[in-house]
Amino acid sequence: MKRGVFLFSLAFVILGFDLGCVQWHPPGPPQAPIILFVVKWDGKVIPGITQISALHRKTEVVEHRTGDDSNLIRRSPGKTEYQPIVLKRPRTGDQEFERWANLVWVLGAGQGREMSLKNYRKDLCIEMREDTGRLLMAFRAYRCWPSGYVALSESRAEQKSAALEILVLEHEGWERDEAN
């Protein structure tokens, strides 16, 4: 009799998992939330940004020696360099990337009028949000301007991936926005 109960229980467990009747959770931490990016400039949310490069800064190390201690090398911080911020999104009808890039260079505008120094630098707000909309963190990048623009990335007609629009932004630094 005990053998029959055991076989019945074993069959229930096996069939229950096979039929999807018993919920099974894999071991380990819960699945990480989906992260969304919200990027703003000129007070507007720029739609569709799916990828942002790392916010990277590097400070040069300057080696020096003191006057009477020629055998000891000391290190101090030198110049700080900020890497460009790269924004990517599937190509859509929104023209904000292109409008901003055209402030730096417009083909056919006439000699000496290819660029407009008026309003070509903008402050940027980058927010990381969960898919629920909850703000995780925000950063501000200052005096950004486009140094590169890709209107239509390389893509193939037979593939279902969307062509990307890419904007490369130089800037004068970023910091965490604690107010958000």
Domain hosting residue 54, numbered range: 34-176
Q: Is 8 part of any domain?
A: no
Q: Is 85 part of any domain?
A: yes
Q: Is 11 part of any domain?
A: no
Q: Which of 24-33, 93-102, 151-160 has the lowest mean pLDDT?
A: 24-33
**154-174: b (≥16 Cβ within 10 Å) or e:** eeeeeeeeeebbbbbbbbeeb
Distance between CA atoms of residues 76 and 62, nearest Å: 5
Looking up residue 79, the CATH number of its domain turns out to be 2.30.110.20
- pLDDT top residue among 96 and 66: 96
Q: What is the pLDDT of residues 7-54, one digit of tens each?
A: 555 444 444 444 444 445 556 666 777 889 999 999 999 999 999 999
pTM for this predicted structure: 0.74
Overall number of domains in the chain: 1
Residue 44's pLDDT is 95
How crowded is the C-beta side of 130, counted as CA atoms within 13 Å? 7
Distance between CA atoms of residues 81 and 172, nearest Å: 9
Tell me: pLDDT of 85 over 90.
yes
- pLDDT top residue among 138 and 8: 138
Q: Is 24 part of any domain?
A: no
Q: Is 27 part of any domain?
A: no
Q: Is 96 part of any domain?
A: yes
Q: Is 22 part of any domain?
A: no
Distance between CA atoms of residues 26 and 32, nearest Å: 14
Q: Is 7 part of any domain?
A: no
Residue 18's pLDDT is 47
Task: Report helix, strand or coil for 156.
Answer: coil
